[in-house]
Amino acid sequence: MTRADTPADAATEPIRLLDADGSLVESDANAEWRELAAQLSTDDRLEMHGEMLRTRRFDIEAGHLQRQGKLGLWVPSIGQEGAQVGAAWASREQDTIFPSYREHLIALHRGVDMLQIIDIFRGAVHGGWDPLETRGMRIYSLVIATHALHSTGYAMGIRLDGACGTGDASRDEAVMAFYGDGAASQGDASEGLVFAASYDAPIVFFVQNNKWAISVPSTRQSRTPLHERARGFGLDAAWVDGNDPLASFAVTRRMLDAARQGRPGYVEADTYRMGAHTTSDDPTRYRPSEEEEAWRRRDPIARLAAHLRELGVDDAALAEQDAEATELAADMRRRTLAAGTAASDDIFDHVYSEPHPLVLEQKRALAEFEAGFGGEA
């Protein structure tokens, strides 16, 4: 198969393994993807359901905290958990993840603590976390699409270091960059595709097309489907039902393993942002409630729960996961309310790996300035 010649060519529907009611979709067209999804045991699928539940409860509680004045802003991911959980499980331990700012499930899956995410949005940290402690999960990128270049450059470095291309998927490294349909309109996103294709970088761009870039619909941003645009840059590309966790896993696993061998990929996940773009946004001003309701019936959590019941998982197991998710979100709330404020001079401590005289002078000057107001700095 040549570059950009993927089974999704001329597709009229995204790749799907589970219907909205949780029933399996079996056809000759998706046989390859069903075989890949078979790598997931029933226990794996149950844990995927648990991760989606935990993320949603966390998401809802974070929104409450913002409304109560504890966060400056919150970016919800409700409705997009299916795309993210499939991609998270498709990644391998040695992979590096470059998120935007809505990949809460991906972050939690890779080991980021809920409070570390919260701290970003309450202004308590000046970055996020150490990727060496979060299984290659890089910090959130709030500037739209800049990380499309960062991730591509990192992937080019992997190739130059000889850390991919051996044919051993358990060792070869790959990179995933996550962004949305709005970011796909940025020049940085296109430049990332150019360099990824030109240098056979081991990267997969995972684009969650949630239909709205704030108030601009994706149909206005791009007259051509995003996955078809990616093929024009010379990448393998696929269009997947982003509310189907199994399809998201299967397609992303294949794309990542191809990327390890020098075939960069692009996954367009067809999904929907159920909430606001951020808590500063009011989606009722630009999109109809009928559209939201139609997508609500395609909820990825309900879809996977129905599939698990078909596999013999009882309601008690699902209820136990729900109770655990609720308690974890409540614990996050308690820890947030009890958390202190970061020292204002922390921003100087990690600019350079070694002490720098100019930075030390700036830190001293800030302390002197704040002391002039009296009380504690």
What CATH number corresponds to the domain at position 60? 3.40.50.970
What pLDDT does 10 receive?
55
More confident residue, 111 or 347: 111
Statement to judge: residues 255 and 324 lie in one domain: yes
pLDDT at 6: 46
Confirm if 301 and 53 have CB atoms less than 8 A apart: yes
- Is there a single domain that holds both residue 248 and residue 353? no
Integer Cα distance of 48 and 244 in angstroms: 11
For residues 170 and 290, state if they share a domain. yes
Q: Do 303 and 222 reside in the same domain of the chain?
A: yes
Q: Which secondary structure element, helix H or strand E, spans residue 17, and what is its range?
A: none
- Quick one: 259 and 129 in the same domain? yes
Distance CA 314, CA 375 (A): 59
For residue 5, is it within any domain? no
Any domain includes 3 = no
In a domain, 317, yes or no: yes
Q: Are residues 117 and 194 in the same domain?
A: yes
pLDDT band at 350 (very low <50, low <70, confident <90, very high): confident
Residue 193 resides in a domain: yes
Structure confidence at residue 128 as a pLDDT band (50, 70, 90)? confident
- For residues 218 and 363, state if they share a domain: no
CA distance 250 to 183: 24
Residues 49 and 195 in one domain: yes
What is the average pLDDT value for the chain, to the nearest integer? 94
Residue 53 has pLDDT above 70, yes or no: yes
- 250 occurs within a structural domain: yes
The boundaries of the domain holding residue 79 are 30-341
Q: For residue 9, is pLDDT > 70?
A: no
Are 202 and 236 spatial neighbours (Cβ–Cβ below 8 Å)? no
> Is residue 15 situated within a structural domain?
no
Quick one: 181 and 296 in the same domain?
Answer: yes
Q: How confident is the model at residue 7 (pLDDT cuts 50, 70, 90)?
A: very low
In a domain? residue 124: yes
- CA nearest neighbour of 266 among 226, 223, 209, 217: 226
Which residues have CB under 8 Å from 86's CB, separation 6+?
A: 48, 244, 245, 246, 247, 248, 249, 250, 251, 252
241 and 305 fall within a common domain = yes
Taking the CA atoms of 115, 147, 219 and 232 in sequence, report the sign of the dihedral they define.
Answer: negative
Q: Which of 1-10, 123-132, 279-288, 348-357 has the highest mean pLDDT?
A: 279-288
Task: Tell me: do 364 and 320 sit in the same domain.
Answer: no
pTM above 0.85, yes or no: yes
Residue 4 lies inside a defined structural domain of this protein: no
Task: Give the total number of structural domains in the chain.
Answer: 2
Provide mean pLDDT across the span 339-367.
90
| pLDDT of res. 374 | 79
Is 263 in the same domain as 352? no
**Please, which residues have CB within 8 angstroms of residue 47's CB and are 6 or more apart in sequence?**
none
**Per-residue model confidence (pLDDT) at position 215:** 94
Encode pLDDT of 222-276 as tens digits.
989 999 999 999 999 999 999 999 999 999 999 999 999 999 999 999 999 999 9
